[in-house]
Amino acid sequence: MLLDEKVAVIHGGGGSIGAAAARVFAREGARLFLAGRSLPRLEAAASAARAQGAEVDVAVVDAMDQAAVDRHVDRVTDAAGRLDVALNAVGFDHVQGLAIGETSLADYLHPVTGYLQTNFVTAKAVSRPMIAQGSGVILTISTPGARLTGRGLIGNAAQSAGLEGFSRALAGELGPAGVRVVCVRPHAMADAVATSYTGEMFGRIADRSGIRFDEWMAGLAGGTMLGRLPTLDETAEYLAFAASDRAASMTGVISNLTAGALVD
Ligand SMILES: NC(=O)c1ccc[n+]([C@@H]2O[C@H](COP(=O)([O-])OP(=O)(O)OC[C@H]3O[C@@H](n4cnc5c(N)ncnc54)[C@H](OP(=O)(O)O)[C@@H]3O)[C@@H](O)[C@H]2O)c1
């Protein structure tokens, strides 16, 4: 199995990508620690992962709070003796689709500060034990906004480009200690909208554009080379591979999972 004997923590572990990754990491043999905001969503993700035979702990931890995340990481290493994989799958609704003249400074900064804060907080916490053990993989999640242009994307673009730069620089810093950093950049996933903040967010954009939600999603799919959007399972399977020793030479990379919407 890809992640046999690996200990993994997933922040945002009850979310759409977090839960999908938990299922796949569990199937691949990982011991899991799911941390997040809402206990019911964490419990649901944990039961699906346990059904794959994994040992799974859950904890309510605010992934914006350095002291709380540090304490949780200490509990993980006390319980499991090590920490091999850390995925930040935290997500939250924010403003997209408005022109700059209609966007408040607060709405612009909300995704920028929020996503950059949580990824700093969790990476700082997990890098401590990973540096000490001389190995580990930190996984971050960006969006196509890092490379897109056009109206309504400034906050998402600044957040995503910032996170990709953060991940690349951190890989350079932690590489000599044996710690890898991989950022994945999936396109919008149609099978996530029922559970993800993206359902509300894309819904507002479709409404403003005067088209139905399914038409708007179809427009996104139509802009890819494959003529479809990626799925949660595809993203989770790639995350498991990137976390595994089969990807041992991969670090500082931004993995393009956009189904061909963007070309490197
Ligand atoms: N979905 C997509 O199509 C897509 C595409 C590209 C990139 N991404 C990226 O993937 C990541 C996850 O997105 P998703 O679709 O899986 O989102 P999601 O389904 O809405 O899940 C996000 C999870 O993060 C949790 N969370 C939010 N704030 C938190 C905090 N302060 N502390 C701890 N947990 C917190 C949420 O908790 P609650 O359960 O309490 O809400 C939720 O469980 C985001 O970075 C997003 O930009 C998503």
**CATH superfamily of the domain spanning 7-186+236-257:** NAD(P)-binding Rossmann-like Domain (3.40.50.720)
Q: Is the CB of 186 under 6 A from ligand 1?
A: yes
DSSP notation for 152-211: T-HHHHHHHHHHHHHHHHHHHHHGGGTEEEEEEEEPP-GGGTTTSHHHHHHHHHHHHHTS
In this prediction, residue 80 carries a pLDDT of 98
In this prediction, residue 153 carries a pLDDT of 96
Burial class of residue 52 in the structure, from the number of CB atoms within 10 Å of its CB (0-12 exposed, 13-18 middle, 19+ buried): middle
Q: Domain residue spans in the chain?
A: 7-186+236-257, 190-229
Q: Is the CB of 16 under 6 A from ligand 1?
A: yes
Q: Which atom of ligand 1 is nearest to the CA of 198?
A: 1
In this prediction, residue 200 carries a pLDDT of 97
DSSP notation for 110-141: HHHHHHHHHHHHHHHHHHHHHHHHT-EEEEEE
* Cα–Cα distance measured from residue 156 to residue 42, given in angstroms and rounded to the nearest whole number: 26
* Residue from 17, 238, 254 whose mutation best tests the ligand 1 pocket (most atoms within 8 A of CB): 17
Q: Could you tell me the CA-to-CA distances from 76 to 1, 24, 50, 185, 234 in Å, in that order?
A: 22, 20, 17, 27, 27
Q: 220 near 148, Cβ under 8 Å?
A: no
Question: With 90 as the cut, is the pLDDT of residue 177 above it?
Answer: yes
- Residue 23: both structure tokens together: 């299922």
In this prediction, residue 31 carries a pLDDT of 98
Q: Which atom of ligand 1 is nearest to the CA of 193?
A: 1
Q: Is the CB of 231 under 6 A from ligand 1?
A: no
Task: Name residue, tokens 């490197």.
Answer: 264
Question: With 90 as the cut, is the pLDDT of residue 264 above it?
Answer: no
Q: Which amino acid is at 178?
A: G
119-138 tens-digit pLDDT: 999 999 999 999 999 999 99
Residue closest to 45 by CA, chosen among 11, 79, 72, 73: 11
Q: Is the CB of 63 under 6 A from ligand 1?
A: yes
94-109 tens-digit pLDDT: 999 999 999 999 999 9
Q: Which atom of ligand 1 is nearest to the CA of 197?
A: 20
9-52 tens-digit pLDDT: 999 999 999 999 999 999 999 999 999 999 999 999 999 999 99
Residue closest to 63 by CA, chosen among 24, 137, 9: 9
Question: With 90 as the cut, is the pLDDT of residue 69 above it?
Answer: yes
* Cα–Cα distance measured from residue 27 to residue 54, given in angstroms and rounded to the nearest whole number: 7
The predicted model scores a pTM of 0.98
Question: With 90 as the cut, is the pLDDT of residue 146 above it?
Answer: yes
What separation in Å is there between the alpha carbon of 93 and the centre of ligand 1?
8
Q: Is the CB of 60 under 6 A from ligand 1?
A: no
* Cα–Cα distance measured from residue 39 to residue 245, given in angstroms and rounded to the nearest whole number: 31
| β 136-141/31-36 pair status | unpaired
Q: Would you give the distance in Å from CA 174 to the centre of its chain?
A: 19
What separation in Å is there between the alpha carbon of 176 and the centre of ligand 1?
30
